[in-house]
Amino acid sequence: MSLFTDFYNWLSYMENKYGVEFGYSYDKYGCNTKYCNIKLCENQLISITYDIFTEYIEYHQKLIPYGIIRFEYEDYKSEIKIIRIVKKCQLPGMPFGTSVGYLVPAILPSWIDGGLFKNILKDACEVLRINHSICNVDLMITGNEIIFLEITPRPGGDFIPLLIKKSCGLDILGLALDFAEGKEISIPPREKWRNLAGLRLFANRQGILKSINITELENDNRVLDVILIRKPGDTILLPPDDYDTWLLGYLIFEPNDESLEYQCVELRKKLTTYLDLLDGQKSVRNRSQDSGTVESADTKTR
């Protein structure tokens, strides 16, 4: 029996067993094919894919050497649901693409808010063949144009999950697991979200960390939480040598009416770090987080 005949008979068997209809493609070269595409038709559960794949492996192991079986799930009745919108804050002088802060929930420009934005997202996901996933989307809006930077099937990273939970109580990582298990997910309505911002705390000198003073930050009535991820004795390096260790921690605050960028700069100046320099110089007090004055015991430099 040829691979084509065996594959066709197997499809018919599975259609009858599961009560579904398959769309599939198969090239004319029979057993020389490299891929067999199986598409589950509209409104079918994605969990069935695993059952079908397992059964195919069990009953047709002899076919595996001929190629790879690709399963694709397509739900033509699916809709785009917006979980959250976060605005990123970037400041001059930082490495390209580095975000220093986030604002949640952000508001879209009026011309794109609502159904139009969802339709654009849906078209973009269809191009990438993403059709049943929680996605993180990075984009720029300039004038009346949307530029996509990233669309990936994962929840947002960095400390955005913590910021979201602080804002509305939503556990985005737990929601992603529920979604993967096929459970119903619930997204808090807009009125349940508290306007919050997050700030990434970066060092602007490298060296061996001696201490971090957050007293001024804690005394600022906007600041809700300060999370430090570095400790005394850690080696701090700067980009381009290292893009990880210069991140000292995060803070979450309730912004006032001033611009997010202004408040990020202002709050960064309230963090004080002490480092022993790697080149053997004296301990320095790194007072300004925006490349301002750095003071040592006997020198002042810019």
Give me the half-sphere count of Cα atoms (radius 13 Å) on the Cβ side of residue 110.
0
Rounded Cα distance, 194 and 191, in Å: 8
Per-residue pLDDT of 74-116, as tens digits, reads: 334 467 888 999 999 989 889 988 999 999 999 888 888 767 8
Q: How does DSSP assign 253-301, residue by residue?
A: E---SS-HHHHHHHHHTT-EEEEE-TTSPPPEEE--SSS--EE-SS-EE
pTM above 0.75, yes or no: no
pLDDT of residue 262: 95
Kindly give the parts of the chain with pLDDT less than 50: 1-4, 24-54, 56-77, 288-302
pLDDT of residue 77: 46
- The bridge status of strand 35-40 relative to strand 22-25 is antiparallel
pLDDT of residue 182: 84
Per-residue pLDDT of 242-260, as tens digits, reads: 999 999 999 999 999 999 9
Rounded Cα distance, 299 and 166, in Å: 42
Longest dimension (CA), the chain: 88
- Name the helix (H) or strand (E) containing 120: helix 115-127
Q: How does DSSP assign 36-88, residue by residue?
A: EEEEE-TT--THHHHHHHHHHHHH-GGGGGG-EEEEEE--TT---------EE
Rounded Cα distance, 277 and 301, in Å: 15
- Other C-beta atoms closer than 10 Å to the C-beta of 288 total 17
- The bridge status of strand 87-89 relative to strand 247-253 is unpaired
Q: Which two tokens stand for residue 124?
A: 């973009």
Q: Which of 187, 190, 189, 201 is nearest to 159 (CA)?
A: 201
pLDDT of residue 79: 76
pLDDT of residue 97: 83
**Alpha-carbon distance values, 61 to 28, 58, 69, 293 (Å):** 22, 6, 12, 69
pLDDT of residue 243: 92
